[in-house]
Amino acid sequence: MSETLQHSRQAPSPRYQELSRVYRSAHEDGLTPEGDGKNLFAGNSLLPHVEIIRELVRATGARDLLDYGCGKAGIYKRDDVTLKSGESIGPIRDYWGVDSVSLYDPGVAEYSALPERTFDGVVSTDVLEHIPEEDIPWVLGELFGFADKFVFANIASYPATKILPNGWNAHVTVRPADWWADRIRAAAKGWRGQRYYFVVSEKRAGFDKLVGKLTARGKMRLTEIVYP
């Protein structure tokens, strides 16, 4: 992979700056003029991944975590979280067995302050596909830079159902698993942590007779990019 880091936190791409503005507005006002942002990007996409995160916490001895791109962090405000299996697990911090979880999301005023320290573990769900391709290297670099022991992230490699107010599909970067693997490994080069675990979800295109066009409603294929 021949690619240089042309953008950074200090100099993000114009598309990143545009998306930052769009998401700040959408969190408040929704995606349409008549919409309401109250329940938009609520932060519940974390739920399918809480079990693997607990495994990473236990394997690495992590005590404090950062949720990078937490949305409205709805799952952390519940006293009793229920898994898809129906199992009730109580508050998510207790389920993970950590002392604290810090929250960061540039689109939500309450969580918009960039952390100034590192954490044992960093989790990022439903985030990376929303980042412009040209900014992926430095954002991945931040994930690893904040993590002393482990990084977990999931990536949706298919178009979103949501369209942003500026007309863009919410998933601005849709790339196959091998593309992501190259960039993840490049960002992790020299990292001194213990483990990283990325899951890329890809949908095979299929012809939808109802709308008469190709869609991404076929079988889901999951690719794990892990270290070690």
Residue 52 neighbours by CB under 8 Å, 6+ apart: 152, 197
Average pLDDT over residues 171-181: 97
Beta bridge partners of residue 67, listed in sequence order = 103, 123
Residue 213 has pLDDT above 50, yes or no: no
Cβ–Cβ < 8 Å for 160, 174 = no
How does strand 100-104 pair with strand 195-203? unpaired
Q: Which helix (H) or strand (E) holds 43?
A: none
Average pLDDT value for residue range 56-81: 96
Query: Checking DSSP bridges between strand 64-68 and strand 147-157, what pairing results, if any?
Result: unpaired
- CB neighbourhood size of 48 (10 A): 13
Does the reported pTM lie above 0.85? yes
User: Is the Cβ–Cβ distance between 155 and 174 less than 8 Å?
Assistant: no
What pLDDT does residue 44 have? 87
Question: What is the pLDDT, as a whole number, of residue 31?
Answer: 81
Whole-number Å distance between alpha carbons of 150 and 153: 10
Q: What's residue 34's pLDDT?
A: 56
CATH of domain 42-227: 3.40.50
- Quickly state the pLDDT bin for 96 (edges 50, 70, 90): very high
